[in-house]
Copies of this chain bind each other. A is one copy, B any other.
Amino acid sequence: MPNALTRRLEEYTALTDADCRELAQLAAQSTLTIGPRRDLIHEGDAPRSVYLILDGWACQYRTLPDGRRQIVDFAIPGDLCDLNLFILDRMDHSIGALTRLRVAEIGRDILHGVITTFPNITTALWWQELVSKSIHREWIVNVGQRTAFERIAHLFCEMFLRLESVGLTDGFSCDFPPTQADLADATGLTAVHVNRTIQELRRRGLVILDRQRLTIPDLGALQAAGLFNAGYLHHWRLNRHALINGVTDGGRGPDGPKLRAIA
């Protein structure tokens, strides 16, 4: 596998050979492997490095005092976990491994060096940061407005496309390690209800999910079921497509009419 980070960042900006070499080096410099269900870093810790996911899945999550847990994002190879360290003194969330996880640890000073000498990379990093913020917004919408059925469908679409953008899909299929309990924590549902909802998705032929393997026979249909619009991922390859089904509101402000056709 070539560097997933390179692939990810090229989604946003053109990189030179020198940029790519630098990225490859970053990924190789100081790697770290941790087992599934362990924390990479924990809420309240002082961040010491940025983590680049090389292999496996992680999740960012926050817990409430009584133990309720909300996953706020999944992280897959090529994802860079929070540039927070430059800025924030304390982690406001945890990062946990869902699978065996291989990450590159990039120290503050090294990253700082990269940023001052490789402007393309810097641009791409901030780009990625803004995109991941956009993904957060979409998660708020997902949890706040969509039905259980739509939420799960939406999440499957999102993760499939994100995996696809780093070359981790295989036709209509991809690995999909989160358990139903994980999906529950990501969607604000219970595991029981996630289970029933996935069964409904299966019954309708929208997904095949077995042994950590997800297959989406008809992505368009699943997108429709999840009210999914890829625009928020800001992948340029998808953008043309996104512009077609992009705009959903006529511009009447926060109190406009509630019913409106898809463009």
| CB <8 Å contact, A227 and B65 | yes
Q: Which of A169-187 contact B (CB under 8 A)?
A: 181-182, 185, 187
Contacts of A262 in B (CB 8 A): 65
Q: Mark A127-165, 1 if CB is under 8 A from B, else 0.
A: 101111110111111011110000000000000000000
Q: Mark A101-139, 1 if CB is under 8 A from B, else 0.
A: 000000000000000000000010011011111101111
- Which residue of B39, B92, B258 contacts A253 across the interface (Cβ within 8 Å)? B39
| CB <8 Å contact, B248 and A65 | yes
Q: Mark A237-249, 1 if CB is under 8 A from B, else 0.
A: 0010011001111
Provide the bound-state CA to CA distance between A254 and B186, in Å: 12
- Asked whether A48 is an interface residue with its Cβ less than 8 Å from the other chain, the reply is no
Provide the bound-state CA to CA distance between A249 and B179, in Å: 21
| CB <8 Å contact, A249 and B43 | yes
| CB <8 Å contact, A61 and B92 | no
For the complex formed by this chain, how many copies does it contain in all?
A: 2
Contacts of A258 in B (CB 8 A): 66-69
Q: Size band of the A side of the interface?
A: 35 or more
Contacts of A126 in B (CB 8 A): 86-87, 126
A130-B88, A182-B254 given; A43·B247 CB < 8 A: yes
Contacts of A243 in B (CB 8 A): 44, 90
- Asked whether A96 is an interface residue with its Cβ less than 8 Å from the other chain, the reply is yes
- Which residue of B43, B131, B247 contacts A248 across the interface (Cβ within 8 Å)? B43
A144-B188, A253-B38 given; A227·B90 CB < 8 A: no
- Which residue of B61, B89, B182 contacts A239 across the interface (Cβ within 8 Å)? B89
A235 to chain B, nearest CB (A): 11
Contacts of A62 in B (CB 8 A): 137-138, 141
Give the B-binding residues of A (Cβ under 8 A).
12, 37-39, 42-44, 59-72, 82-84, 86-90, 92-94, 96-98, 123, 126-127, 129-134, 136-141, 143-146, 181-182, 185, 187-188, 227, 231-232, 234, 239, 242-243, 246-249, 251-255, 257-262
